[in-house]
Structure 1
Amino acid sequence: MTQASIELMDLVAAMTVENRPPLGFFRRFVVEKSGEHRNEFDLTMKGIRPLVDAVRVFAVEKDFRDPSTIKRLQFLSERYEFTYAEDIKHALNYLDSLLIHHQLDQIERGMEPDTFVNPGKLTNIEKNTLREIFQLTATVYDIIEKSYRTERVGS
């Protein structure tokens, strides 16, 4: 990799890890404090996107340019034994399913569908699964932060 490529990867990695999963101290969900989405978090921006972006970082580093996250995971798993590939794939499937069910419920109630979920309205199993997924995201982010100079963004 050229110096410019390394710096670009550092920048992409730093921008990726800026979008933290919504899990705070004691594994509590971090939600909006006020406004239209008070007590909710954006499942797409805080759940799905962080994993998709993390996979993109690893795939681009290996010069794999396919836009499909699933194909990127397969590539990383088969060629580089990326140990988190299967977990991320299942996590993304779960998040997609949760989002679809949430939006279908909104449509059935005559509401405009959105991507904001209130964790207080989820079952204990759903909450625990989300916590595990967000912890997985944090673990993958730790790998990115150790692999790239992510502290450079904003400095």
Structure 2
Amino acid sequence: MVLEKTGENKKTLDIKKYAINLIIDLARIYGLAVECDSSNTEERFTRANERGMLSEDAYKNILNTYQYILMFRQHHQLEALKKGEEPDNHINPDSFGSFERGNLKDAFRIISSLQEAAKVRFAGRM
């Protein structure tokens, strides 16, 4: 898990920067590879799976990861609103329970695995 190293959000996880944007970028890469004209992240992964570019396991894992990360961010932002705070994407890891911490570690492992697969698959093509 990558935490911000400087600034007012030091020692927080920017869930958008270090998770959501990475997944969206992966969907774009796979979408381009299968000539998917949709701008929807899940649709791009679906087309890549249908065309054999993603295994069924990788497809299910990345979709579940994407949905979990979005839900996690939404929960964080709703909690901020309840406290009268401005919602953001910076989450203090001290606020994670062991369940959340484990799920986030799994999510980052899945993202990293798909990044590595994309590097191998598309090396020299882009």
Task: Specify the alignment match of 1:32 in structure 2.
Answer: 4
What is the percentage of aligned positions where both structures have the same residue?
Answer: 23
* TM-score, length-scaled by structure 2: 0.89
Task: Specify the alignment match of 1:108 in structure 2.
Answer: 82
Instruction: Provide structure 1 residue ranges, at least 5 long, that are not aligned to the other structure.
Output: 1-28
Task: Specify the alignment match of 2:66 in structure 1.
Answer: 92
Which of 1, 14, 25 lines up with 1:53 in the alignment? Answer: 25
Task: Specify the alignment match of 1:127 in structure 2.
Answer: 101
Amino acid at match of 1:102: H
Whether 2:36 is the aligned partner of 1:82: answer no
Question: Over residues 77-128 of structure 1, what are the superposed CA-to-partner deviations in whole Å (9 max), with x where a residue is unaligned?
Answer: 2221612111111111111111111001001111111011111211111111
In the TM superposition, what are the counterparts of 1:13-32 in structure 2 within 5 Å? 29-32=1-4
**Cα distance in 2 between the residues matched to 1:34 and 1:60:** 35
**Structure 1 stretches (4+) deviating beyond 2 angstroms?**
147-150
**Cα distance in 1 between the residues matched to 2:39 and 2:7:** 35
Q: Which has the higher contact order (CA 8 A, sep 6+)?
A: 1
**Cα distance in 1 between the residues matched to 2:81 and 2:93:** 19
Residues paired across the two proteins, number: 123
Task: Specify the alignment match of 2:91 in structure 1.
Answer: 117
Q: Alpha carbon RMSD of aligned pairs, Å?
A: 1.7
Instruction: Provide structure 2 residue ranges, at least 5 long, that are not aligned to the other structure.
Output: none
**Cα distance in 2 between the residues matched to 1:76 and 1:149:** 17
Report which of the two structures shows the higher radius of gyration computed on alpha carbons: 1
* TM-score, length-scaled by structure 1: 0.73
